[in-house]
Chains A and B, each alone.
Chain A
């Protein structure tokens, strides 16, 4: 063993502080640019949108200094940047809305709510960092997590409070307040999967017979994967959303693969899911419709069909309109796309920031995910590894499913773009993930020496 070099980065918290300042400045610039481009004057309300996320980010920064000083220094600035960029676009869509719509009602405004949700989400994240002193303590709660995850998943199916939005039953609502419990369920289930797989990895990885080069575990070890498969099919059938169903099942597959090192699980799991999804798409018209829209959105009949490809095509028009460099924030027409502030926020961004902007956003997500991977690799204990890669993969896959839906890589589904899209549940869930990643990164074993 030979000492190669010592990595000296300086105090990570100082770099984080500098990056947060940069992001806060960018955010102010975005808001000012939007006002100047749309209403042609600077309005003081800018501060109301700018201050809460920025202040809370510095509060989180302070807490990290005190309670997790070794935590990763890139995650918080990236989180703040994506979150505030999302608010900017949502504000940009709000600002051009008339005081009264053509039907005489006040228009739906999202930016103020988004700022409030962001503040709540970041406060919760700060609390998580303070309360969860070590992520290893989460191992004690894996079965609680399982029960919580399942309950959260089932919540939208309850009568009265369960709500169906554009065909998918993913919401609960009481009065004007609504929530997407599935977002929180993904955290609970990731914790459960990680904990469960750590305790069972020996038996799951046990060598069985070999068939066609792949080792096949004994039949009883297939129990968990079949259970999760049935559960995700239940989500698909009962909640009518392919994306959500795919998300849970894929997290499980990835974690069981990482835990056991057996590609067999991935192959069999993927086959099972594809079979299930194909059958579902034949039996349930809404899945089939989504697939038609995906394959040939510009087809006249598909375009005009109710629940057809109109929205998808409008999104494509917006993206094409943006082209390479975009129209500039406030210069495009993202309001022509239905749900431009939530499901289709990526087409709003692509229109105004161009392909260049989208590439930058994709790169930031990749960077965020890469930090999770790095944390996972650096940890020595299995639970930390699984948890970090699990969270990283959740963000990656959810982003891929949503953005891939808008960009026609996949059929469109009802997930939200992490951190960017309007919606409280998604913000809270993703800020909790950020808090947990920060917490996990704080306890990365530090050798101080990199060996080769």
Chain B
């Protein structure tokens, strides 16, 4: 009988082994995914106990937790709506968005890099204090961008070309994240509903994750880069210069923005076409290059890639499967080309940086309460988009566009500015999308910027990039340069 008892004992042992394995699987291996399940409210309740870390700009908190006398223990406080595109919000009832969401595990101290902090909390009985994140944002530049946009809907992104550090990131209208951090569920819900149904859609982060925008003429920077990189073009290559051009295989005629020839001559150089932002020469260049060459160039600049800054940036799109008429339209940023302002700023920054794209980032450092640095990203290369020669040539064209071309309102006295405007059409009778992207100073770039203004800046089809977007960009660049 003892032999059988021994076997039964082995069976019992196996049953317990399966329990040991199952418990380890749940509590260790799949713990992270279970904790992050959106049906799991424990992280929210847990956050009551944690002194959540701050989000800092130039050592001043733009989001921080202060003691409150109710059961929530802390209230999340936001400094200003101009930072709402960065912080997002942290609500006990509506969840988290923006950096509050992306950096959540750091801010509430549950990131795996804070293991010793957690261990210490277990043994000392003190709650975990979250880590704080210092951003790369320059408050003066951010403020300049916010103020310059005024009441217009749109976004501004400013990047330091050499490092990829984001100096300003504004989406307008912003919102008051304090409205969602309130401790009353019904109040929070009401405020949230109001923001959701606001026709100006303040919760949308237009700089990185809004509806993508048609880039219009600013996309010519990508086509010009592709043309020069192909070796078939130089800035002085001559292109046919008719006053109207019928897209191949269609009866659609396209025009330059001035409804005439691009300059007066029979032929126009590539440099001249960019400086004057002419559609017809670029349509021909685009068709001659072909969509695959343009797409490959766009991808080198970052199109199609979900950048993490660390929030996810919606990938910009260069369409596939176009016929040559559509390729022609795409060459001046129409048809289904769609971009984020961050992507456009990255293109200017790349040209400014001699063709080497840098990974854009918002994070300067993440530091625990006892000043242990958890993360301090260094400048990271994203990849070479164009050769140094091409970069230099495109830069010259952009400088000319501001100095004596159609992007003149980007000019700053005493500084050489490189820039490109855009005025994208969104369909018959729809207001235009206005653009400016560029960098300054051209010979030693300190800042690259992209500005988008929706809804024609309130002027319908009368607004254009140089009129409304370029001055905004100028103010942002000035804010960087006057430091």
A interface vs B, CB < 8 Å?
A: 254, 257-259, 261, 298, 303, 313, 316-325, 328, 333, 336, 350, 354-355, 358-359, 362, 365-366, 369-370, 373, 376-377, 382, 385, 389, 392-393, 396-397, 400, 403-404, 407-409
From known contacts A362-B16, A396-B15, infer whether A258 and B8 are also in contact, taking CB-CB under 8 Å. yes
- A404 to chain B: which residues have CB within 8 Å? 15, 18-19, 22
Query: Contact between B12 and A369 (Cβ–Cβ < 8 Å)?
Result: yes
Nearest CB to that of B21 among chain A residues?
A409
For B9, give its contact among A317, A350, A373, A385 (CB under 8 Å): A373
Q: How far is the CB of A311 from chain B (nearest CB, A)?
A: 12
Query: Contact between A407 and B30 (Cβ–Cβ < 8 Å)?
Result: no
Residue B232 lies at the interface, judged by CB distance under 8 Å to chain A: no
For A408, give its contact among B11, B26, B28, B122 (CB under 8 Å): B26
Query: Contact between A317 and B40 (Cβ–Cβ < 8 Å)?
Result: yes
Residue B413 lies at the interface, judged by CB distance under 8 Å to chain A: no
Residue B31 lies at the interface, judged by CB distance under 8 Å to chain A: yes
Query: Contact between A382 and B1 (Cβ–Cβ < 8 Å)?
Result: yes
Query: Contact between B5 and A409 (Cβ–Cβ < 8 Å)?
Result: no
**15 residue pairs from A and B, CB less than 8 Å apart:** A257-B4, A258-B5, A298-B37, A323-B28, A333-B45, A333-B46, A354-B27, A373-B5, A377-B2, A393-B8, A393-B12, A400-B18, A403-B19, A407-B22, A409-B19
Nearest CB to that of A404 among chain B residues?
B19
- A354 to chain B: which residues have CB within 8 Å? 27
Query: Contact between A350 and B27 (Cβ–Cβ < 8 Å)?
Result: yes
For A320, give its contact among B15, B20, B30, B45 (CB under 8 Å): B30
- B35 to chain A: which residues have CB within 8 Å? 317, 320-321
Nearest CB to that of B26 among chain A residues?
A319
Nearest CB to that of A321 among chain B residues?
B42
| Interface of B (DSSP majority class) | helix
Alpha-carbon distance A393/B10, docked complex (angstroms):
11
From known contacts A258-B8, A407-B22, infer whether A324 and B28 are also in contact, taking CB-CB under 8 Å. yes
Residue B251 lies at the interface, judged by CB distance under 8 Å to chain A: no
- A366 to chain B: which residues have CB within 8 Å? 12-13, 16
B interface vs A, CB < 8 Å?
A: 1-5, 7-9, 11-13, 15-16, 18-20, 22-24, 26-28, 30-32, 34-35, 37, 39-42, 45-46, 119, 122, 125
Alpha-carbon distance A319/B31, docked complex (angstroms):
8
- B23 to chain A: which residues have CB within 8 Å? 319, 350, 355, 358-359, 362, 407
Q: How far is the CB of B84 from chain A (nearest CB, A)?
A: 31
Across the A-B interface, the 7 shortest Cβ-Cβ residue pairs = A320-B34, A407-B22, A320-B31, A355-B27, A400-B15, A258-B4, A317-B40
- B4 to chain A: which residues have CB within 8 Å? 257-258, 261
- A333 to chain B: which residues have CB within 8 Å? 42, 45-46
Q: How far is the CB of A392 from chain B (nearest CB, A)?
A: 8
For B42, give its contact among A318, A389, A396 (CB under 8 Å): A318
Q: How far is the CB of A217 from chain B (nearest CB, A)?
A: 16
- B46 to chain A: which residues have CB within 8 Å? 321, 333
Alpha-carbon distance A442/B245, docked complex (angstroms):
106
Q: How far is the CB of A379 from chain B (nearest CB, A)?
A: 10
Query: Contact between B27 and A320 (Cβ–Cβ < 8 Å)?
Result: yes
- A392 to chain B: which residues have CB within 8 Å? 12
Q: Which of B9, B12, B40, B119 has the largest count of A CB atoms less than 10 A from its CB?
A: B12
Q: How far is the CB of B20 from chain A (nearest CB, A)?
A: 6
Query: Contact between A400 and B39 (Cβ–Cβ < 8 Å)?
Result: no
Query: Contact between B42 and A258 (Cβ–Cβ < 8 Å)?
Result: no
Query: Contact between B20 and A409 (Cβ–Cβ < 8 Å)?
Result: no
- A313 to chain B: which residues have CB within 8 Å? 39
Query: Contact between A355 and B15 (Cβ–Cβ < 8 Å)?
Result: no
- A319 to chain B: which residues have CB within 8 Å? 23, 26-27, 31, 34
Alpha-carbon distance A382/B5, docked complex (angstroms):
12
For A376, give its contact among B5, B20, B24, B26 (CB under 8 Å): B5
- B37 to chain A: which residues have CB within 8 Å? 298, 317
For B8, give its contact among A254, A322, A328, A359 (CB under 8 Å): A254
Q: How far is the CB of A26 from chain B (nearest CB, A)?
A: 18
For A328, give its contact among B18, B24, B39, B122 (CB under 8 Å): B122
- A389 to chain B: which residues have CB within 8 Å? 5, 8
- B39 to chain A: which residues have CB within 8 Å? 303, 313, 317
- A321 to chain B: which residues have CB within 8 Å? 35, 40, 42, 46
Q: Which of B13, B16, B19 has the largest count of A CB atoms less than 10 A from its CB?
A: B19
Q: How far is the CB of B451 from chain A (nearest CB, A)?
A: 42
Query: Contact between B122 and A325 (Cβ–Cβ < 8 Å)?
Result: yes
Q: Which of A358, A393, A407 has the largest count of B CB atoms less than 10 A from its CB?
A: A407
Given contacts A261-B3, A316-B26, A359-B23, 12 further A-B contacts (CB under 8 A): A317-B37, A317-B40, A319-B31, A320-B26, A320-B31, A320-B32, A320-B35, A324-B27, A366-B16, A369-B12, A396-B12, A407-B19
- A396 to chain B: which residues have CB within 8 Å? 12, 15-16
Alpha-carbon distance A317/B23, docked complex (angstroms):
12
- A261 to chain B: which residues have CB within 8 Å? 1, 3-4
Nearest CB to that of A304 among chain B residues?
B39
For B5, give its contact among A350, A359, A385, A397 (CB under 8 Å): A385
Alpha-carbon distance A389/B3, docked complex (angstroms):
12
Nearest CB to that of A369 among chain B residues?
B12
Q: How far is the CB of A158 from chain B (nearest CB, A)?
A: 34
For B1, give its contact among A254, A258, A362, A403 (CB under 8 Å): A258
Q: How far is the CB of A84 from chain B (nearest CB, A)?
A: 22
- A407 to chain B: which residues have CB within 8 Å? 19, 22-23, 26
Alpha-carbon distance A324/B3, docked complex (angstroms):
37
Alpha-carbon distance A324/B22, docked complex (angstroms):
13
Alpha-carbon distance A318/B20, docked complex (angstroms):
17
Q: How far is the CB of B376 from chain A (nearest CB, A)?
A: 27
Alpha-carbon distance A137/B47, docked complex (angstroms):
60
